Amino acid sequence: MVILPAAAAPETDRLVLGVNGARDQDRLARLAAEVGLDSWHLLGHLWDFLLAGTLTREVARLRTRYAPAQHVDGMLDRFLTPGLVNEQSGRLETTARLAPVLSAIGEDTRRVAADAWADHETQADVVAAGAARMIAAADDDAPVAMAHRAIALPDDKYLALYCRLVTVRYIRQHDHAVAWAAHDLTAPQMRVYTELWLGRQVADDAEGRADLEARGLVVAGGGLSEAGRQLREQIEAETLDRSARTYDILGEDGPEYLAAITALPTPHA
């Protein structure tokens, strides 16, 4: 049954991305600059892994799988150079210099989530309980989701809800990656493929575009071919089929979960 994941996954995206976008961008940028970073945005994706000590290079690459791996590694190396993190036995461990910045990201995330959802306690509790069930039952073959599941939940219930929703997104991210990899597509190709599928412009020399054109999925100098549209829709259908295994855990509570997550308001700055 793919109706529930098809409806619920965009709601999860809406809430998580809403929180992320409503953080105090200027304050966090200042804090990052104070420790020698020109951007805090990669930290915004990885702060919870870093604070918990569960981040590896593989997790970082898979978390940001549509960015070139060398770019992600380069950013991680920039954390190492000024002593913001240490790399020990394959794990990236936060130093005392970076910890206040990560804590500030976490606190700002908590503030935004609480401001948005504190007046919707009943719905928040339903979503938190449903997400917890799905996360507990998730397959162990999703590295990012499993690394995130291993992080202890914060005491604040609204920050904990946000963290659970993030884990649910990582499960779906894995389902999507399995679906497109089964069709011999790479992350750079999928980045181009998805942009064109959404009707956006992509440069002719973008990495992966020539490969898609050679397979007849993309028209030279244009958008998706008919074969390209059909395959992209097939990938979405296969993603939903995989995601259904996660949402099926909710059983007859699925409609209540969907109603609750739909009722939670989008956070705003």
pLDDT band at 54 (very low <50, low <70, confident <90, very high): very high
Tell me the average pLDDT across 253-257. Answer: 96
Q: Which residues of 200-231 are buried (b: 16+ CB within 10 A; e: fewer)?
A: eebeeebebbebbbebebbeeeeebbeebeeb
What is the model's pTM?
Answer: 0.94
Helix axes of 157-181 and 3-22: crossing angle, nearest 10 degrees: 120
Tell me the average pLDDT across 28-57. Answer: 94
CA 223 – CA 98 distance, rounded (Å) = 43
Judged against a pLDDT cut of 70, whether residue 212 lies above it is answered with yes
Judged against a pLDDT cut of 60, whether residue 60 lies above it is answered with yes
Average pLDDT, whole number, for the chain? Answer: 95
Burial class (CB in 10 A: 0-12, 13-18, 19+), 74: exposed
| Comparison of pLDDT for 177 and 2, the residue scoring more | 177
CA 125 – CA 18 distance, rounded (Å) = 19
Judged against a pLDDT cut of 80, whether residue 2 lies above it is answered with no
Does residue 223 contact residue 193 with C-beta atoms inside 8 Å? no
Tell me the sheet residues that pair with 86: 93
Burial class (CB in 10 A: 0-12, 13-18, 19+), 28: buried
Residue boundaries of the structural domains of the chain: 3-178+242-263
The tens digit of pLDDT for each residue in 104-125 reads 999 999 999 999 999 999 999 9
